[in-house]
Amino acid sequence: MRYEKLENLMELALDMRLSRIGVAIKDIQNKYSVSRRTAIRMKDLILNMFIDIEENVDDSRIKRWRIAETPFSKLVPFNNDDIADITLAAKSLKENNLKKQSESLMKLVDKFKSTLRKEIISKLETDLEVLSENENFIFKPGPRPTYDKALLSQIRFAIKACKIVELKYKLKSNEKTYRLEPYGILYGHRHYLIVKDPTDQKIDIKYFSLPKIKDFKITKDYFNRDDSVDLNKLRQDSFGVYDEKPFNVQVEFDKEVKDIVKEFVFHENQTMQEQSNGAVTVSFKSGGLIEMVWYFFRWGKYMKVNKPKKLRELVNKFRYNWNVKP
């Protein structure tokens, strides 16, 4: 048997284990682009390899086969947070253009799922869908703050259950108690809990740094989730975690650093263009003025800001204070 055929059989066995309703002959034909005869042979091979096979007939009178719970599944106590963490890591790799590594981790997630009972898989997939939509990344080079894993688990539960939370937040000179609606988590240079504060009608979304959160409590009260809150859009509209109205940005890098510049993705919606003199311009639309100043200033004399004017002035001010010639 050729390697690719063996690999297909292994994947089919995994599909039969993960599926709640089972796999039909037509499913095998479509996924592996094989004839009905070959699909039946593949199904029969799986049936001969496994003892606990469930055969069902769906509402359309189509036969489906599923591998029942295996003894191994009782020995591996994976929980929602374990699998959510791996899924999150896979998402991070994909965000950083490491697609192959991301796919490998997701295959590992599928293997974990194969050890669970189908009713647990059903709940898990619902939880993962919620967490996937409400946990996002804005990663940059540099040190990372630590955070309490128990706190993270509590936050995830509150997000999934739409429960109001109470917490103390460390400010510069004191602590303040808040009652908030948790919407998501943003991982990056700092890790933030994204919330809505029902008592503050002026600011729609607030960011609370995880290391500064104390005495986190989940209340018995629920809140109605605002569907207009979109973490993906928040991430796309920001350079870092500052929640600002997006503006047009254009920066220009000297030809001396063009090869290095081309290795970077400065923003998801960026365009990059090499000029006739060898310089490279990068354009995008985003909020996050302060983070941009700090980031672009570090490119020193090899970069200049074409627009907006405010960003150019702030970057030049930093250069002057640090005696860096533009």
Spans of all domains in the chain = 3-68, 74-138, 149-235, 242-321
**pLDDT of 73 strictly over 70:** no
Q: For residue 192, what pLDDT is reported?
A: 83
Give 74-100 pLDDT, tens digit per residue.
Answer: 444 555 666 667 776 777 666 655 667
Q: For residue 279, what pLDDT is reported?
A: 92
Q: For residue 1, what pLDDT is reported?
A: 41
Q: Which range, of 89-98, 131-140, 280-289, averages the lowest pLDDT?
A: 131-140
**pLDDT of 8 strictly over 80:** no
**pLDDT of 4 strictly over 70:** no
Give 253-268 pLDDT, tens digit per residue.
Answer: 999 988 888 877 787 7
Please, where are the H alpha helices in the chain? 3-18, 25-32, 36-49, 80-95, 99-113, 118-134, 149-161, 231-236, 258-261, 289-297, 309-321
Contacts of 26 (CB under 8 A, 6+ apart): 39, 62
CB 191 within 8 A of CB 139: no
* Mean pLDDT, residues 24-49 taken together: 89
19's tokens = 């599926």
Give 158-196 pLDDT, tens digit per residue.
Answer: 988 889 999 999 887 888 999 999 988 877 656 788 899
78's tokens = 């994976």
Give the pLDDT band of residue 143 (cuts 50, 70, 90).
very low
Query: Which is more confident, 50 or 253?
Result: 253
**pLDDT of 50 strictly over 80:** no
Q: For residue 250, what pLDDT is reported?
A: 93
Share of the chain above pLDDT 70, in %: 69
* CATH architecture assignment, domain 149-235: Roll (2.30)
| Half-sphere exposure in the Cβ direction for 180 (13 Å, CA) | 27
Q: For residue 6, what pLDDT is reported?
A: 63
* Mean pLDDT, residues 134-154 taken together: 62
**pLDDT of 200 strictly over 50:** yes
Q: For residue 58, what pLDDT is reported?
A: 84
**pLDDT of 55 strictly over 50:** yes
CB 223 within 8 A of CB 181: yes
Q: For residue 68, what pLDDT is reported?
A: 76
Q: For residue 122, what pLDDT is reported?
A: 59
**pLDDT of 142 strictly over 70:** no
Choose which CATH entry (2.60.120, 1.10.10, 3.40.50, 2.60.310) describes domain 3-68: 1.10.10
Query: What distances in angstroms separate CA 132 from CA 141, 182, 232, 269, 322, one per listed residue?
Result: 23, 15, 10, 21, 42
